Amino acid sequence: MPHRPPPIPSRRALLGGLLAAPALAAFPGKTRAQAGWPDRPVRVVVPFTPGGSTDIIARALGAELQSALGQPFVVENRGGAGGTVGCEVVAHAPADGYTLLMGHIGTLAVNPFLYRNLTYDTVTSFAPIVLAAVVPNVMVVNPRKMPAGGIQELIALAKRRPGALTYGSGGNGSAAHIAMAAFNLATGTEMTHVPYRGTAPMMNDLIGGTIDLTFTGGPPALPPVRAGLLRALGVSSRERLAGAPDIPTLDEQGVTGFDATQWYGLLSPAGTPRPIVERLNAESARILKGEALRPRLEAEGAVASPGTPEAFRDFILAERTRWGEVVRRADMRAD
């Protein structure tokens, strides 16, 4: 029988509430107060290097917002220190709607417990706009190095050789790092973390055989799986991916109740005028639910999940509580 300690609590119910929450419509009277916005390019800061899920989703949504609002939405990659460098840029930017952040589980819910000297607070320094997408993690291995064909085989191998298997991530506190920490806690395994400066170089090394596996989002994981370069062992959500229904969940494979899903959302500096937040929320929700973007996200293993700014704020608070406990139990530390 597989080792089954109490699972990390599922957030299915919370996500269900977010998905059910209606997007805020812009109020015409208030919107006229900001009628000139946007009248110049909008910067979307991605606090990681290009090529990871955060970057992919930011570029996809930004392109659609550019078409809808008539001004360029320019993605700026500001990686470093687990995403804290880019978050700091946005937190201290003018609250005028021209600097946005594509945040995610690591930058908003994990980093407050990894980094002691942040110059911003992930709740009070930002104005949440919209939860853009939920992205289940995919456990992928290099098939030339790893004989495991399923999760239970991987668990058995890891237990025979504690610490010998190496897993990569986009950096300390990244989504892949926190997902693997949760997996190790749930299965009683021990694997060695190898942090990189971004998801793209980590994936290159995984394909090249420098490391053994990773547990990262569908957008960077699924293309090399489809190309036969990597093998997918399982997904972290409670349901299979619509875009990859042949990959079983970890729950199906005996890691009962496991749920370690990434998420991504758009924010602006605290104090951004409410009409701008409402307009961005309404446009983003329309785009994310529409046929132009939603099927593309699903094909990459992402699920569009727009709700209200208030629902996104509540979600961030709940995720901070949940993942702060994982950081404590796993004794995770920043560089």
| pLDDT per position as a tens digit, 185-225 | 999 999 999 999 888 999 999 999 999 999 998 889 999 99
The pLDDT value given to residue 20: 40
> What pTM value is reported for the model?
0.81
Q: Same domain, yes or no, for 39 and 70?
A: yes
pLDDT per residue as tens digits for the range 300-315: 788 899 999 999 999 9
Q: What is the pLDDT of residues 48-93, one digit of tens each?
A: 989 888 898 999 999 999 999 999 999 999 988 889 999 999 999 9
- Between CA 325 and CA 47 the distance in angstroms is 24
Q: Which helix H or strand E contains 262, and what residues bound it? A: strand 262-269
Phi (first) and psi of residue 330, to 5 degrees: -85, -5
Angle between helices 199-208 and 218-226 (to 10 degrees): 30
Residue 182 is given by DSSP the state H
Would the pLDDT of 9 be above 50?
Answer: no
Query: What pLDDT digit, counting tens, does each position of 252-263 carry?
Result: 999 999 999 999
In a domain, residue 248? The reply is no
Q: Within this chain, do residues 161 and 73 fall inside the same structural domain, yes or no?
A: no
Say whether both 151 and 230 belong to one domain: yes
User: Can you give the pLDDT at residue 197?
Assistant: 86
Pair (59, 84) in one structural domain = yes
- Check which CATH number belongs to the domain holding 39 and give it: 3.40.190.150
| pLDDT given at position 147 | 85
Token code pair at residue 106: 């690591």
Cα–Cα distance between 259 and 56 in angstroms, integer?
A: 22
pLDDT beyond 60 at 21: no
Whether 119 is covered by a domain: the verdict is yes
Structural domain includes residue 6: no
Q: Cα dist. 325→3, 18, 181, 335 in Å? A: 20, 22, 11, 19
List the one residue out of 186, 146, 135 whose CA is nearest residue 168: 146
Contacts of 240 by beta carbon, 8 Å cutoff, 6+ apart: 247, 248, 249
Q: Name the percent of the chain lying above pLDDT 90.
A: 71
| Residue 61 CB coordination number (10 Å) | 27
Same domain, yes or no: 151 and 175: yes
Confidence category of residue 335, pLDDT binned at 50, 70, 90: low
Average pLDDT over residues 280-296: 93
Query: Which secondary-structure segment (H or E) carries 128?
Result: strand 126-135
Averaged pLDDT score across all residues of the chain: 88
Residues spanned by the domain of 306: 12-135+261-330
